Chains A and B, each alone.
Chain A
């Protein structure tokens, strides 16, 4: 059972000891050595990913070339000249840089992607600039030259736009559970913060993941009880209010989600033509 889901949890030997043979996505701290994180996580579990919030656009200490994928979350990329010298290192590393969706960060993601660096926007913030995200999406889907695919767009294309874009952030009920330092489990990062728990790490093996996913799906579909807002949004198919930070009243993402859906169709159509 534990192989079917991935537990997103903080870097803690104590937590790691509570599970065996589980897929772990470990949230490390800026001061942590990723080599040590990987060794501890892999002692009796499988390391699926590492997440790290950091303040500098640089490769983290202890990163191994064959490491599990690392998602680095930064507030801003800063000036190109400040990181230009490291771009070649970034391009070959198992790392993706994520930034909040601001106009400046959307430009930084475009630059990094055009230079072969894995990058993406974190669309979960309440201040997401959907226009900036939309411009970046346009570049990613319709740009003239090959570039490194940008997240979360690439995740959305994978399923022809069927509501998977939040998987780039390891958010999907039934596939990921989020764990806090006390071992509580929740369906999403937001629900963990809101203390909407679905169980504990100790009881992970007994957790009915399928039931949790079905309940989450039911919550998603409840939006259709009223013919307004998200239920009449053409972008709902790709959005599906998977983003726990979204508010139905004025989420502002309609144009973006519609464009993402269209881009997913277009990208897959092109793939089919090849």
Chain B
């Protein structure tokens, strides 16, 4: 147990413009379960991808049983007994369980798949996991939890000594999660080591022998079994007291603009959400990836089906059918993935800026070219879009300028309620600042802003009020004065706010 099986030292990885990992160390003993935790973007996934041979590191070394190893490919890693179970399931659901477990490594006889051996071998691995899944069942007939088990069986079938699980419970029910704990305990007893990545601190406490915390791509600290508490984990994840970067004079919000009552999304049908945004108010939605924030915005806007609940803008009920209704009532949504959901990349800046607007002010169905051109010139100037001309296809603009085009598309309609989903994702610092100023200006002009952000500084700096989501529900609300990175993380990871918070 004390002897280290895996010894990672000084791992460093850069992506263009981002330092994903810097000098990260990690120790793992045989038969040990180590949880790796950290905020969104702390470097957990990059670390795991390097260990599993998905990406090469820029610097650093990895030793297995004191031997220097290099995992250039996934197959190399598998040969050494390191297997990664991705967050998203990677199964061919038109094939049987056994066929999936041995995909690409089918036992053969005379060049033909030896189905009998494949079935018995698969049954053996599945037995080890104490599941009732039969090797011949089609994967498409399994529940998500059972599919997760098949993934684990697949990893074990290559004689994995080290299993890396990336958010394994993100789609499991409570019961399935508990089953997974038992499987992990069994694996540990049989000498398999597990690296467990999770956002859910309750789970980490249940399964981990040790916790390693990453922050901004660096080691932030580690906790031994007896020290693992919610508070300590959050403190290490957060690390610093983030004071509000932006000094916003507190505003006096006006009358309520957006009213959401009893809203149920299809992603979290068992939860229901109520919220309110007033005129001139900036409300932030915090939470971890997968907490249901995007689904909430999309359902309010009407692009995702609403299961139940009402949405009102200034007292008028908005029908749930189609975004056309929400737009007519003064709403706008800036989605998280602008290339997929907001821009027609091959079209000109001008056409994109007018995509939502041309239906108003047309003449007998004809596009009003004069007003179209005026709008695009105005918006390019107002938002400082850097483009050689308004005829330039948006695909050739930088991320920040593309986002400004998305904003401009909506601002040309003077929306009363602006929904923004990760509005500054993947854009440069300068454009970020401009977007913050713009959002504040809109609020001063009386719009209601509801924005989702995974960036703490943005959330704390911009919002008058923060709603924190966890598992599809609003776990708590924080006023600007009481919101800290720690209090947000507590709510986001499913824990109550500690009462000892010193003010």
The finding on whether chains A and B are genuine partners in a shared complex, rather than unrelated, reads: no
B residues in contact (CB < 8 Å) with A? none
